[in-house]
Amino acid sequence: DMKVTQMPRYLIKRMGENVLLECGQDMSHETMYWYRQDPGLGLQLIYISYDVDSNSEGDIPKGYRVSRKKREHFSLILDSAKTNQTSVYFCASLSRQAPLFGEGTRLSVL
């Protein structure tokens, strides 16, 4: 069964701490995405990855970076997290049918 796995599901951090959000898929999909979702704003694209070490900025990349060293894993990194990065983060991978989404990581930055 095709599935995108996000870890952790819930995370609380203090302002200034580093944050690592992880996403995995075992379907060997080339293209993967990171989004954030805030109330009333829908999903905003942070980064898109076309394959290992082939990443492109999305619409709101500032304050984020990504890492994709293996096709199956796509990480989102917040260096020195800010309170305005409190949000729900979704990872997705592109199947032949359509992008498949993980269940999200709810991040609170205090």
Partner 1 sequence: TQTVSQSDAHVTVFEGDSVELRCNYSYGGSIYLSWYIQHHGHGLQFLLKYYSGNPVVQGVNGFEAEFSKSDSSFHLRKASVHWSDSAVYFCAVRTNTGKLTFGDGTVLTVKP
Q: Using the rule CB under 8 A, which residue among 1, 53, 62, 98 binds partner 1?
A: 98
Candidates 46, 90, 107, 109: give the one binding partner 1 (CB under 8 A).
90
Given 42, 53, 62, 70, the residue binding partner 1 (CB under 8 A): 42
Q: CA 46, CA 85: separation in Å to the nearest integer?
A: 12
Applying CB under 8 A, does 48 fall inside the site for partner 1? Answer: yes
Whole-number Å distance between alpha carbons of 29 and 72:
8
- Given the rule CB under 8 A, which of 16-24, 64-72, 79-87, 89-97 is the region that contacts partner 1? 89-97
Residue type, 42: G
Q: What is the DSSP letter of 15?
A: T
Out of 58, 60, 65, 67, point to the residue binding partner 1 (CB under 8 A).
Answer: 58
Terminal Cα distance for the chain, rounded: 37
CA distance 81 to 93: 25
Q: Please give the residue ranges that form the binding site for partner 1 (CB under 8 A).
A: 4, 31, 33, 35, 40-43, 45, 48, 50, 58-59, 90, 92, 94, 97-104
